[in-house]
Every structure is written in structure tokens, then in C-alpha cells.
Amino acid sequence: MDIVSKILEERKLEESVFSSNPARRQQAFSRLRTLLDKPLPAKHAVDKVKKHADHPRVMKDFEHFAKHAPEIDVRPLLKKHMKMISAQQG
């Protein structure tokens, strides 16, 4: 991985729910909560969620639904993953 890619990955991490900064982590969770306000079709979920919670398990689930049921509302799945991530962080 080149230096530019590494810097971009670190910046993306700092803006996500995995940030070491509690305020930024809380902002990312808030942005994810706004996605829960309206139906979130699986085909759009990967792009919208990846910005804030690029977790392999989360992305794998959303990609699966995007492929097999692109119109399904994945808000319950997002909510489940948000709880899982929150519990992991303590």
C-alpha cells in the first residue's frame, strides 16, 4: 500500500464509528442513525454505510442483500450492526 492510500485509510477510519476520538465516533453513529429515518434499500446501503462503518461483516451482509434482494429495506440489519459495533467498543 502506498503512502497516499495509507493516509486516506487512516482519515477514513478517523471519520468512522471506529475512530479513537469519542466525539468523531459519536458523530459517525449520529450520521448512521439518520439513515434509519427513511427506508434504506440494500442496493444503496453499501455506499451510504461504508462511509461511517466500514466493517467487513457489515459490508458482507449489505453486499449479500444488494445482490439477492436489492429493494429490501435493510434498516433492521443496520440497527443490529450498530448495536454490535457499540457493544464491541464498550
Please say if the pLDDT value at position 12 is more than 80: no
Give the cell for residue 3: 503512502
User: What are the boundaries of each domain within the chain?
Assistant: 3-89
pLDDT digits (tens, 9 = 90+) for 23-66: 888 888 888 899 899 999 999 988 888 887 777 888 899 899 99
Residue 74, CA distances (Å) to 3, 20, 39 in order? 35, 27, 8
What is the pLDDT of the chain when averaged over all its residues?
A: 80
Give the cell for residue 4: 497516499
DSSP 23-80: HHHHHHHHHHHHHTSS--BHHHHHHHHHTT---HHHHHHHHHHHHH-TTSB-HHHHHH
Please say if the pLDDT value at position 75 is more than 70: yes
Q: Percent of the chain scored above 70 by pLDDT?
A: 77
Give the pLDDT of residue 76. Answer: 94
